[in-house]
Structures are given as structure tokens and as C-alpha cells.
């Protein structure tokens, strides 16, 4: 199963928590994930970009958000993650069965990144748009690494 993730520009804002008055960083990550090859118009049909091969209807992919900021694990106990997904392309029929976002530690131990997991059932072509919003205390920000260091 191939996966191509195309991020949109990340949006960062500072917000104030209505309950505590605490300053928080709100970061919104959006993009499109093409599973089993991206489609392009070829006359009156769609053509698959990428490697040809067998396409099964069950889709179960996990990936790190490519433009993710690095986070410090110790400050994430009060953090919140929300995820919204929608099908952009689904062949004849399809359904997103589940989507979850989680903070996952780098294999080296530091920093912590956001990972997205999507389960779906669909033919080809299949693309899912995602929106992940991270609301974290300011002490969760990290100056370790950069978006270019996100694991694959």
C-alpha cells in the first residue's frame, strides 16, 4: 500500500484558555493523504500516479504529520488533540471507519511528534483530507529539531 501525504500550510496562533486564563499554542495541521496512488485526469478517465499493483478495499495507514512541530513530552499532559477527516476521493463507494491523532515520541526519545491513524474501506482512487488541531501549554513547545526532522 502506497501513501502520499500533501500538507497545507500550518497555522499557529497563541490563544488564552477560557477556564484558566493560561496562554496556549493552537496549531492547525491540514492536508491530503492519497492511499494506493494519487489520481490525475487523463481524458475522460482517472489515471493512477505511482506504482501499479493490487488494490485492496481495506485501508489502514499510520503516518506522522509531515509539517509537525516538535513537542516536549513533559508538557503534554494538559494538551488536547482533535482530528477531523473527510473523503476527497472514494472510488465508487467508501467510508472512513476511524481516525485518531496521538503524540508519539521520536524513536531517539526526544522530541515528540503528532501521528495520525486512518482506517477506511474504499476502492480506488482514495484520498482523505485531514485536519489536526493541537492545543498545548507553551512549555510543550520545543526548539529541538525542525519540521524537516519529522520521522517517516
Express each pLDDT in 90-147 by its tens digit. Answer: 766 788 999 999 999 988 878 999 999 999 988 778 889 999 999 999 877 664 444 4
Q: Which three cell numbers stand for residue 12?
A: 499557529
Specify the pLDDT at position 45: 74
Specify the pLDDT at position 52: 60
Contacts of 87 (CB under 8 A, 6+ apart): 94, 95, 96, 120, 122, 126, 127, 128, 129
Of 60, 45, 29, nearest in space to 129 by CA:
29
Of 29, 31, 37, nearest in space to 4 by CA:
37
Q: Is the dihedral of CA 83, 84, 88, 92 positive or negative?
A: positive
**pTM across the whole model:** 0.82
Q: Which three cell numbers stand for residue 16?
A: 488564552
Is residue 149 pLDDT above 70, yes or no?
A: no
Specify the pLDDT at position 148: 43
Specify the pLDDT at position 90: 72
Specify the pLDDT at position 145: 40
Q: Do residues 114 and 68 lie in contact, with contact meaning Cβ atoms separated by under 8 Å?
A: yes
Q: Do residues 50 and 65 lie in contact, with contact meaning Cβ atoms separated by under 8 Å?
A: no
Q: What are phi and psi of 148, to 5 degrees?
A: -70, -10
Specify the pLDDT at position 115: 96
Q: What are phi and psi of 147, to 5 degrees?
A: -60, -25
Is residue 9 pLDDT above 50, yes or no?
A: yes
Angstrom distances, CA of residue 57 to CA of 22, 36, 71, 90, 92: 45, 10, 35, 10, 11
pLDDT, tens digit, for every residue of 30-87?
999 998 878 777 787 777 776 666 677 788 899 999 999 999 988 899 899 999 999 8
Amino acid at each position: 500500500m502506497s501513501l502520499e501525504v500533501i500538507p497545507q500550510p500550518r497555522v499557529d496562533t497563541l490563544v488564552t484558555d477560557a477556564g484558566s486564563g493560561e496562554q496556549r499554542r493552537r496549531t492547525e495541521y491540514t492536508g491530503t493523504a492519497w492511499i494506493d496512488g494519487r489520481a490525475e485526469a487523463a481524458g475522460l478517465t482517472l489515471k493512477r500516479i505511482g506504482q501499479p499493483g493490487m488494490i485492496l478495499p481495506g485501508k489502514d495507514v499510520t503516518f506522522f504529520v509531515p509539517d509537525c512541530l516538535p513537542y516536549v513530552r513533559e508538557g503534554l499532559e494538559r494538551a488536547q488533540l482533535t482530528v477531523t477527516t473527510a473523503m476527497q476521493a472514494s472510488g465508487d463507494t467508501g467510508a472512513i471507519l476511524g481516525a485518531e491523532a496521538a503524540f508519539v515520541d521520536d524513536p531517539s526519545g526526544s522530541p515528540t511528534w503528532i501521528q495520525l491513524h486512518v482506517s477506511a474501506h474504499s476502492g480506488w482512487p482514495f484520498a482523505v483530507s485531514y485536519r489536526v488541531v493541537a492545543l498545548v501549554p507553551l512549555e510543550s513547545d520545543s526548539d529541538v529539531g525542525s519540521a524537516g526532522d519529522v520521522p517517516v
